Amino acid sequence: MLMDIANTIMPAINKKDASIYEVESHTKGTFYTVDIDAKTCTCPHYQFRLKRFGGECKHVVAVRDFIAANSEVKEYKSKYKGRKTERIGKSSKSDKKETKKTDSGSNNLTTEILKEVGGEQGKDAIELIDKYGEFLINDLITKGYLIESKGKIRLMR
């Protein structure tokens, strides 16, 4: 279920060129091409409606959010690079498997955040923002997946 929520928040986005991205439509298997520098998209909504007055479709917005989220992830990784984290419990063989890195890494990060917040009591807001970045946490709150109350962040039910 959490992965479904993550995929709803961030559709599959693949970088093709310096400013060219492919964004999966809500119809699985259908992709639209977004040029983020020109702020254009090949989707019908953009082509027939928004193009006339320079509007942005949801695919352009998704790419912009994707770029911002990835820059925060890179900033987080560079900030904590080299720090060793303790694992509680025994490590299994599956823990040692190398994971495939993809552009959908932000989906994995979103799933990780949703799992961490999953408890009824919630997590400390400052702790989550320090760990994952203000952009990602605010984005999940804005989209209605998380709620913040009295300094605690919980899953929206």
Find the domain containing 146 and state its range.
2-80+104-155
Helix (H, G, I), strand (E, B) or coil at 15: strand
Residue 96 belongs to a domain: no
Model confidence pTM above 0.85: no
Question: What is the spatial distance between Cα 106 and Cα 90, in angstroms, rounded to a whole number?
Answer: 27
Strands (E), 18-86: 20-24, 31-35, 40-41
Which H helix or E strand runs over 41? Answer: strand 40-41
Residue 97 belongs to a domain: no
Residue 147 belongs to a domain: yes
Q: pLDDT tens digits for 71-115?
A: 766 666 666 555 444 333 344 444 333 333 334 455 677 778 888
Residue 89 belongs to a domain: no
Residue 98 belongs to a domain: no
Residue 85 belongs to a domain: no
Q: Is the pLDDT of residue 10 over 70?
A: no
Residue 127 belongs to a domain: yes
User: What pLDDT, on the 0 to 100 scale, is given for residue 80?
Assistant: 59
Of residues 26, 58, 63, the one with CA closest to residue 45: 58
Domain count, the chain: 1
Residue 149 belongs to a domain: yes
Q: pLDDT tens digits for 82-93?
A: 544 433 334 444
